[in-house]
Structure 1
């Protein structure tokens, strides 16, 4: 579904000349109106980006506000470095100058891995320092174990120099400087740092290094120390914990919803949480080299889970890419094992770069496909990406010290935002499914009601059909009785009567009975046969009455296979007989013309005589005599009509029209 363009038009304010109270009310209303329009037109998926940006800005503002002022402090960026042997003494005659931050690039076989940084400084001059306030040295990044000496005296230490722990690299240090050891001029701060060289670690931030050191009042540096500690470790661990909880929730959703992409997302979120914990100091009972190998080998499965999630979420399967990344999960640990211990970083860096590019490429494919097929899913991905970019910018611009592992906050935030978007999308689909189910239920009820009505109608039709069957059976029985009993008796009278009148009446009764029997049996009559019977009967009757018969019926009608129902045949025959009887008894006609026509839908019978016509005094009273009402009633029963046209001296014409 393509989102419609969102436009908010803000009308310019016009100065008002109304009283101040009324103007203030109007101004408030005008201010609320555009805000309400923005809230209504802003796409719901973009609220996540707005809220994430707002939260990050607020947190960054709070951190800046809590950081205090570093006025009156001195930042030391120049130092002299000397290597320290296993006996704790320098192995070089002279220290060489270095610029902080300084990172140990390569290991040397003839050294213990401990470097000593010598920093010369003068006590800062400030009203607070002059008042006797304690000074402190702030080390924002020192990796990993260290010892701090002021003018040759040990004042602070972390870990053991002989067994450094790379996880301590993310913890800043704030070392108070005892006033009794400080001198007005010529102070020296020696920082011995023990850690692994860059080539021996998976991540650059875990290599032995020292960032610029700041000397200043303890009260001014303490907020900066707490802020850096919260940014490097507190926020990272909190976000990683949230990502782990999100991953577990996604796995639960995978089990309950049977959606595979939730499983891949849960695996990616849990994998990133564990990876972030390893990178930021999770203590494992393993040698340092094994920890680095575990970190580097853990990245491919996490990337594979992330890519499978993006592909499955947009409904894609890229077999070759999935197989390639799966092979990387085996090849990367094998190559790192071969590169250990002094080439881990040089092998891990290109592998991580390849994995990042693969994830970015799959992410672009996801966004492109989502934009094309599902804008809602596109906005979910776009909001998660925007949250990542904004958080990344906050890491780069808002961090108080050196940036450690850029993106560690951004990835966790993006995972949380993505999961929230998926849950919201799932809720939306769930609501849509509920609405569709409700609509389906309503439609099913309608179909059930329609089916019930159809069943009732069919039952009624079946009942009517049963009645008709019983009626037809009874009619056939009555017709058989009439034919066998009454017909036989009438036929006997016809042949045995001595009186011609009685014989004629019996013959007419026999013909009427036969016509009634035909109507009762319900057998259809072909039009050609019906016309033949009518012509034969009418020729006999007109010849006995001395009336000339003119028969107009096309020859093809005699060959017609069209049929008329038994009822129509009987009623038409009776109408024809009644009309002929009127001609013979009342019209004094010498000539009668019978015309029969048939078209596709109608059957028309016309009886026209040249008799005296119907008298004027009977005009308007035709239905009261001459059988006219009976003929019209019979025609009406057949859904037809019977029209009578007559006038004194013009004869009479009867037109019968019946539907076939």
Structure 2
């Protein structure tokens, strides 16, 4: 071999200065830090009638050209920076006449390389074309085809698991697996690319590859933790802080320190990766779960290949073949199978949960239907009870009042009551009973003016009070414009009827004033009598009935409930030696 210095465009080999070497050769072991062109010369003798020979160059690093007896037979596209990245590309050709001569034949291999990336020349094989071609196919399979196959699997699995993670964001192990797969793909593509695009130099490309390796090791550690159900916030923060600092370090380092920096930031993530594998082994064998042990065994294969590649990278092993990209598919497929199994189990659990939920919903629907039926039955019973209670109140307030007034009329003139008057009392009770029945039958149907509703009651009450020598004064204002439903009118009339019946039974009054006004949506009913009054407990003073006349009995309670149903209020008070019953209703 013979270096030509920094003359990157040297087209001819030097005449002197040759040194004997053994292939494969890395020239930085002899000339550290040397960047440029090195020529390798190989000579051999051929018989008078040379036979075709197969030629195999396993690799050269990084770019080169091959001359046989000063005839160019192989050449890379770019022999100056950005150099063609031919370091993992085997070359094969058949040597024949006229390039192959009888006697001494000389092969010159021009190699352009950079000191930071193990520049040199790999093994050269000459022999029978068929035999050499078989070896070439093996090298092509190991160095190119298997790499492409592994990259395709890695990229496919990464994208597939990424799609799964997008649907299941809470499964963070899927997310880190996809990041791990994609960053490994960016790192491993270095095995097959032949130019540093999109970067302008190989230095920039190698820095990019080193940063991808940092990202891969970090995401692998995160995957291991999440896969095993662990979270270590401080350790994770330290991990990414360290790797981020490493990426910045690689970017800002000058060219003459790139080799040392890349070596350092290959060791740090490499050790982290191995530590993550050890952690994976420990956690998976502690958990005693088959799926986790499968992943740990796949990782063991990758660890063995990674150890080999580290020894190659640092020159401990005399080889140029890296096996991590080839065995990565074992780890990726193993992890993907486990994640797919986990995804299938989760989907099965979800389907089972949906079935259980559907059964639960059906049961709940049946229970709800049963409850609603029971509630409907109770509502029907309550409605019937309410109707009976309303009917009882109407009978008490209406027919009861009519009976009381008729009894009072008969008691005051038992012998002088003419038959026509007695018949009139019976007709009034009949009319009152009919009023109660009609009101119950037409409850909440239609609307009538309050004046129309109160007229029959006013007539009956006036006649009754006249027979009892009680002056009854009516003051009606604005009720012709007040329109109420049948139910509302009935409630108000029953309050009035109960108040007047109470005056007739207990008050000993000689005068009653009834005021009913409708003004600006406000209905006011006021019944005032000059009777005996009542005490604070609502008991009439000096009433004739045993125990006194109770306003707070059935009648008063009925009046309160009716006022509340109308959305109003009822009040009892004494004003100027008079008893006042006041009802106010908002009818806007």
User: Does the alignment reach a TM-score above 0.5?
Assistant: yes
- Indicate the SS of the match to 1:100: coil
Deviations 1:288-320 (CA, angstroms, capped at 9, x unpaired): 221122222222122222222222222222223
- Alignment equivalent of 1:291, drawn from 205, 208, 224: 205
| 1:211 corresponds to | 122
State how far apart, in whole Å, the 2-side matches of 1:363 and 1:109 are. 35
The answer to whether residue 367 in structure 2 is matched with residue 417 in structure 1 is no
| 1:352 corresponds to | 266
State how far apart, in whole Å, the 1-side matches of 2:357 and 2:288 are. 24
Deviations 1:211-241 (CA, angstroms, capped at 9, x unpaired): 1211012233223223322321222123212
Distance 1:301 1:394, change over 3 A: closer
| 1:158 corresponds to | 76
State how far apart, in whole Å, the 2-side matches of 1:190 and 1:395 are. 30
**Aligned residue pairs: how many?**
379
| 1:23 corresponds to | none
User: 1:139 Cα deviation (Å)?
Assistant: 0.5
State how far apart, in whole Å, the 1-side matches of 2:271 and 2:339 are. 24
Verify the 8 A CA contact 1:279 1:295 in the aligned structure 2. no
State how far apart, in whole Å, the 1-side matches of 2:230 and 2:192 are. 35
| 2:343 corresponds to | 426
Verify the 8 A CA contact 1:239 1:413 in the aligned structure 2. no
- Alignment equivalent of 2:190, drawn from 266, 278, 290: 278
Structure-to-structure mapping, 1:123-134, within 5 angstroms: 123=46, 133-134=51-52
Q: Which has the higher contact order (CA 8 A, sep 6+)?
A: 1
| 1:384 corresponds to | 298
The answer to whether residue 20 in structure 2 is matched with residue 103 in structure 1 is no
Structure-to-structure mapping, 1:57-456, within 5 angstroms: 81-85=1-5, 86=7, 87-88=10-11, 93-105=16-28, 113-123=36-46, 133-163=51-81, 165=83, 167-197=85-115, 200-201=116-117, 207-259=118-170, 260-281=172-193, 283=195, 284=197, 285-373=199-287, 375-382=289-296, 384-385=298-299, 388=302, 403-446=320-363, 448-449=365-366
State how far apart, in whole Å, the 2-side matches of 1:300 and 1:327 are. 11
| 2:556 corresponds to | none
* TM, length-normalised to structure 2: 0.56
Distance 1:263 1:405, change over 3 A: same
| 1:569 corresponds to | none
Verify the 8 A CA contact 2:210 2:262 in the aligned structure 1. yes
Deviations 1:271-299 (CA, angstroms, capped at 9, x unpaired): 11122223432530411221122222222
Deviations 1:445-496 (CA, angstroms, capped at 9, x unpaired): 34554566677789889999999999xxxxxxxxxxxxxxxxxxxxxxxxxx
User: 1:101 Cα deviation (Å)?
Assistant: 0.8
Distance 1:370 1:109, change over 3 A: closer
User: 1:170 Cα deviation (Å)?
Assistant: 1.0
Verify the 8 A CA contact 2:27 2:120 in the aligned structure 1. yes
State how far apart, in whole Å, the 2-side matches of 1:142 and 1:93 are. 23
Verify the 8 A CA contact 2:58 2:124 in the aligned structure 1. yes
- Any unmatched runs of 5+ in structure 1? 1-80, 202-206, 471-660
User: 1:169 Cα deviation (Å)?
Assistant: 0.8
Verify the 8 A CA contact 1:84 1:111 in the aligned structure 2. no
Distance 1:89 1:156, change over 3 A: closer
Mean Cα displacement is larger for which, 102-111 or 457-466? 457-466
State how far apart, in whole Å, the 1-side matches of 2:204 and 2:321 are. 22
State how far apart, in whole Å, the 2-side matches of 1:110 and 1:468 are. 107
- Any unmatched runs of 5+ in structure 2? 311-317, 388-588
Deviations 1:551-594 (CA, angstroms, capped at 9, x unpaired): xxxxxxxxxxxxxxxxxxxxxxxxxxxxxxxxxxxxxxxxxxxx
* TM, length-normalised to structure 1: 0.50
Deviations 1:498-527 (CA, angstroms, capped at 9, x unpaired): xxxxxxxxxxxxxxxxxxxxxxxxxxxxxx
State how far apart, in whole Å, the 2-side matches of 1:451 and 1:160 are. 81
State how far apart, in whole Å, the 1-side matches of 2:21 and 2:132 are. 24
- Indicate the SS of the match to 1:430: helix
Q: Which runs of 4+ in 1 moved over 6 A?
A: 106-112, 389-396, 454-470
